[in-house]
Amino acid sequence: MKISSTWLVVITAVFIVAADNRRFFSEVIRVFPPNLHNIGFLCSLVVVLSCVLVILFTLINTRWTLKPILILALLVAAVISYYSATFHVVMDETMIQNILETNPAEARDLLNLRLVLYMVGLGLFPAFLVWRTEINYPRFGKGLLIRTLTIFAALTIVVVVMLPFGRHYSSFFREHKPLRYQTNPTYALYSAGKFLNRSAFAGEIPLQSIALDAHRDNTGQRRLVVMVVGEAARADRLSLNGYERETNPLLAREDIVNFPQMYSCGTSTAVSVPCMFSSLDRAGYRDSKAKALENVLDVLARSGVEVLWRDNNSSSKGVAERLPYEDFRLPENNPICDEECRDEGMLVGLQDYIDRQPGDILIVLHQMGNHGPAYYKRYPKAFEKFTPVCLDNQLQSCNNEEVGNAYDNAILYTDYFLDQVIGLLRHNDSIFKTALVYMSDHGESLGEGGLYLHGLPYFIAPDQQTHVAALMWFGQSMRQEINYRELQKLAADSYSHDNLFHTLLGLFRVSTVAYNSQLDILAGARI
């Protein structure tokens, strides 16, 4: 039996609204609890969202495009439904960028049985039914008329059902904007359009040089700085910041300058890593804008500093595009690998590299760190101090203690890794003025308020996703130019990724109009 294409559109739209918008409706009900005053509004939302999808699907309703688009929509909605219900992610344009930049190893960490069940039940099975459905397509002229009337009817229904609840919709659109971010798949389609507009359709962006007047004071002892870019390390899980568990036993023995009030530029690696090295501040940061500008590493390299980027994470996110880059995610390059390649492998051979360089050196080490959700994979078993641990990438299947234990063990391994970096720097302290700068890219939700992982839009992200771990260590030679007691006092102030650009320039004594001493963390303590 054949059905009309219009009916297939309506049935598919209603199915997606009913089956794939659990997260959206649960959030709406939290804000507008079911009662005599709200029940009509809640029912109208189902109708309005269904009509919006009907309009979108009707716009592509041709015999050549309808089935492929509906099948794709069902599959995408099923995946979004899983991640929004499980991790409470929002499919904004930053999340679209994260997805496109996810490597196979990261993708494997996200696969599990529950995702497969979502894909089969909400995606593949209804997609199969759409594929097998016989459709009665009218002639072109009649079909155009039917599509026009369908869109008109859907718009009329939207207006009719919204009018009696104008006060509710005014509150929904003006006071509770984040609710709209949960609509599936409409907000994802909107975000994908924004992402394509600013990237794929933007054309080639010419690189703009900055700080062309930069010059470095290269007199005196050479400088060696290691910048460690952490991954998903929350400030409140460091015992250096008062956390009750001893997650930093080795760093606690060192004379560390800890920054308990450091905040990230973004809530994902794709935003935070390029932003922290950019001259743009968080308020002015845009991905396309940053890609058109040199970053602080480019400025330092042009000033004569030898810059090397070693990566055990996904990539440098474009930061090291014009600089020496070494990938340590594979055993071919990283000699310390078991279940996965370890961060400490990035230290192998570094002394040889240092010995070969004639001048000042900046080495950036991009950690795997606390990359979720498989925290239990992020550390060698020797660091499994806190037990029991969550051994599942489906975090909601574990209790909060198990998730927290695995996460804290990964922090413990970072403590060891940073202590190894300090050992390398101390070994070179007689030749160089040495320093370690550690700063995590973003934080992580571990089940607080039902949230997991990271990546929420910044203005609604909880403190756990933006309040990050950060610290510094200085060798004896470098301390001669720093009032250490004053720096320890300044460290208690609030800082952000906006400070890194200027702090690195200050560490290497680079003079330029682009340098702002007020944003240099060390400026107030420099002798």
Q: How far are the Cα atoms of 19, 42, 80, 197, 447 from residue 185, in angstroms, in the given order? A: 12, 19, 7, 18, 24
Kindly state the average pLDDT of the residues 123-142: 93
Would you state the pLDDT for residue 205? 72
pLDDT at 195 over 60: yes
Rg, the chain, Cα only? 26
Contacts of 354 (CB under 8 A, 6+ apart): 224, 361, 363, 428
Whether 119 and 258 share a structural domain:
no
Q: Is the pLDDT of residue 95 over 70?
A: yes
Residue at 509 is within a domain: no
pLDDT digit string, tens, across residues 22-81? 999 999 999 999 999 899 999 999 999 999 999 999 999 999 999 999 999 999 999 999
Is 480 a member of any domain?
yes
* Rounded Cα–Cα distance for residues 83 and 96 (Å): 13
Q: Are residues 492 and 370 in the same domain?
A: yes
20 pLDDT higher than 90:
yes
Q: Are residues 310 and 235 part of one domain?
A: yes
Look at residue 511 and tell me if it is in a domain: no
**228 and 174 both lie in a single domain:** no
Query: What's the rounded Cα separation, in Å, for the pair 428 and 440?
Result: 25
Domain annotation covers residue 211: no
- The verdict on 193 and 291 lying in the same domain is no
Give the strand pairing for 325-327 and 306-311.
Answer: parallel
Query: Does residue 410 form part of some domain?
Result: yes
Task: Give the pLDDT confidence of 271-323 residue by residue, as tens digits.
Answer: 999 999 999 999 999 988 898 999 999 999 999 999 999 999 989 999 999 99
Strands (E), 143-274: 215-216, 222-230, 257-258, 262-263
**Domains in the chain: how many in total?**
2
- pLDDT of 202 > 60? The answer is no
Mean pLDDT confidence for 439-444 = 98
- Flag the least confident range among 7-11, 132-136, 191-195, 358-362: 191-195
Mean pLDDT over the full length of the chain: 94
More confident residue, 510 or 194: 510
Residue-level pLDDT at 1: 61
Answer yes or no: is pLDDT of 512 > 90. Answer: yes
pLDDT at 201: 60
CB 267 within 8 A of CB 461: yes
**Mean pLDDT: which of 77-91, 207-221, 504-518 is highest?**
504-518
pLDDT over 60 (residue 370): yes
Residue 127, helix vs strand vs coil: helix
Same domain (yes/no): 182, 242: no
Largest CA distance in the chain: 86
pLDDT at 112: 87
3-state secondary structure of 205: coil
Domain range for residue 455?
A: 223-503
Which of 197-201, 372-376, 430-434 bottoms out in mean pLDDT, i.e. has the lowest?
197-201
Predicted confidence (pLDDT) per residue in 393-424, tens digit? 889 889 999 999 999 999 999 999 999 999 99
The answer to whether residue 208 sits within a structural domain is no
Alpha helices in 163-263 (DSSP H): 166-174, 186-198
Cis check for the bond before 164: say yes or no (omega within 30 of 0): no
Q: Is the per-residue pLDDT at 181 higher than 60?
A: yes
**pLDDT more than 70, % of the chain:** 99
- Answer for the pair 194, 404: CB distance below 8 angstroms, yes or no: no
Q: Sorting pLDDT into bands at 50, 70 and 90, what band is 185?
A: very high
- Among residues 411, 387, 394, the alpha carbon closest in space to that of 232 is found at 411
**Whether residue 379 sits in one domain with residue 299:** yes
DSSP label at residue 123: I
Whether residues 152 and 264 fall in one domain: no
**What CATH number does residue 270 fall under?**
3.40.720.10
What is the pLDDT at residue 382?
96
Q: What is the pLDDT of residue 108?
A: 81
Q: Do residue 188 and residue 243 come from a single domain?
A: no
Mean pLDDT of 128-143: 92
Instruction: Give Cα separations from 334 to 234, 310, 327, 377 (angstroms).
Output: 26, 10, 8, 16
**For range 105-130, the mean pLDDT:** 90
Is the domain of 185 the same as that of 52?
A: yes
Residue 424 CA to residue 418 CA, distance in Å, equals: 10
Q: What is the mean pLDDT of residues 435-455?
A: 95
Given a cut of 90, whether residue 88 has pLDDT beyond it is no
First to last CA, the chain: 85
pLDDT at 170: 82
Confidence label for 203 from pLDDT (cuts 50, 70 and 90): low
Integer Cα distance of 187 and 180 in angstroms: 7
CA distance 488 to 497: 19
Of 351, 344, 424, 338, residue with least CA distance to 377: 338
Is residue 338 domain-shared with residue 440, that is, in the same domain?
A: yes
- Find the helix packing angle between 140-162 and 39-59, rounded to 10°: 160
> By C-alpha distance, which of 64, 99, 62 is closest to 83?
99
**Residue 194 banded pLDDT, cuts 50, 70, 90:** confident
Supply the pLDDT for residue 452: 93
Residue-wise burial string across 432-446, b where 16 or more C-beta atoms lie within 10 A, e elsewhere: bbbbbbbbbbbbbbb
Question: Is there a domain that residue 515 lies in?
Answer: no
> What are the pLDDT digits (tens) for 239-265?
999 999 999 999 999 999 999 999 999
Identify whether 212 is part of a domain.
Answer: no
pLDDT at residue 500 tops 80? yes
Per-residue confidence (pLDDT) for residue 38, from 0 to 100: 92
Same domain, residue pair 265 and 343: yes
